[in-house]
Structure 1
């Protein structure tokens, strides 16, 4: 775990650097079913509502959330594009999503992400994400990029959508 990583609480993702491989592990609990979380990660209209920091808007460019599909989106702040991303869905099942994730500003640094949905019962689910990158240096760049803010702000927005029954 990185020294600056927040402690895990119900509303904060636990973000850890794997000591043995260049991977980032993210764990977060939600008051939602696995099916609701799966939909929030595969429905482009929902995804655009919660992805990223509070002060950005997400616009979906392309979204085909099925095994063999692909996706792209961009983030805007104050009406100007600040970042864009793209990837491919390698495996989309009710239990997990495997996809690539590329920040277009770092096209040589592709992350392979595996998300799994652990049913905790009573309408709660633990989301596990493992993001594997090409080197420890790339992983350090991802961790130093401000991703923690985007992850935690996005999940806060997702909590709000789920509480309103939109997930």
Structure 2
């Protein structure tokens, strides 16, 4: 079953909340965020490839990923994990290289819904309403929807990349 992504970007407030359910247990969803080989298989929109030169999914660890389109254009992102609690929470910074100094702080929460299901909730706070609006306008929702569909496939064991 494919679940819908819910996005809430309230007018006048510099944050975005997202929520998505998965038909897989919390440890599997958490591991798909921690393992760079798994993350490469699902992260981002369908029309971009992804490289993950750095992923230390631990408290005080760092990360970097680079998306590429068919023409070779790169879209690079990086951040730091401030807190990672096994199968529960990840707090990280998120910065697009193309918009330096527009750092968001993101809280990812992994909730056990029972029956082998997980709810992934995110709360991302931006330094300004303009930065938040730029993220919304960037196609973030489409990229997340496509990525989470690939994550569903990965969790079901169906991805063969």
Asked whether the equivalents of residues 10 and 28 of structure 1 are also in contact (C-alpha less than 8 Å), the reply is no
How many residue pairs get matched? 158
**Taking structure 1 as reference, are residues 79 and 43 closer, same or farther at Cα in structure 2, changes over 3 Å only?**
farther
Matches of 1:15 and 1:44 in 2, distance apart? 25
Asked whether the equivalents of residues 25 and 118 of structure 2 are also in contact (C-alpha less than 8 Å), the reply is yes
- Quote how far apart the aligned CAs of 1:10 are: 4.7
For structure 2, which runs of at least 5 residues remain unmatched after alignment? Answer: none
Give the RMSD, CA atoms, in angstroms: 1.7
Asked whether the equivalents of residues 96 and 116 of structure 1 are also in contact (C-alpha less than 8 Å), the reply is yes
The answer to whether the aligner puts 1:154 opposite 2:147 as a matched pair is yes
Pairing partner for 2:28 from 36, 39, 57? 36
The answer to whether the aligner puts 1:64 opposite 2:56 as a matched pair is yes
Asked whether the equivalents of residues 60 and 72 of structure 1 are also in contact (C-alpha less than 8 Å), the reply is yes
Task: List structure 1 segments (4+ residues) > 4 angstroms apart after TM superposition.
Answer: none
Matches of 2:109 and 2:12 in 1, distance apart? 21
The answer to whether the aligner puts 1:110 opposite 2:100 as a matched pair is no
Asked whether the equivalents of residues 14 and 129 of structure 2 are also in contact (C-alpha less than 8 Å), the reply is yes
Q: Over residues 29-76 of structure 1, what are the superposed CA-to-partner deviations in whole Å (9 max), with x where a residue is unaligned?
A: 000111111111111111111000011111011111110010101011
| SS of equivalent to 1:80 | coil
Matches of 2:71 and 2:136 in 1, distance apart? 26
Asked whether the equivalents of residues 53 and 153 of structure 1 are also in contact (C-alpha less than 8 Å), the reply is yes
TM-score if structure 1 supplies the norm length?
A: 0.89
Asked whether the equivalents of residues 22 and 118 of structure 2 are also in contact (C-alpha less than 8 Å), the reply is yes
**Taking structure 1 as reference, are residues 77 and 19 closer, same or farther at Cα in structure 2, changes over 3 Å only?**
closer
Pairing partner for 2:38 from 46, 51, 55? 46
Matches of 2:98 and 2:133 in 1, distance apart? 16
Matches of 1:85 and 1:112 in 2, distance apart? 13
- Quote how far apart the aligned CAs of 1:22 are: 1.0
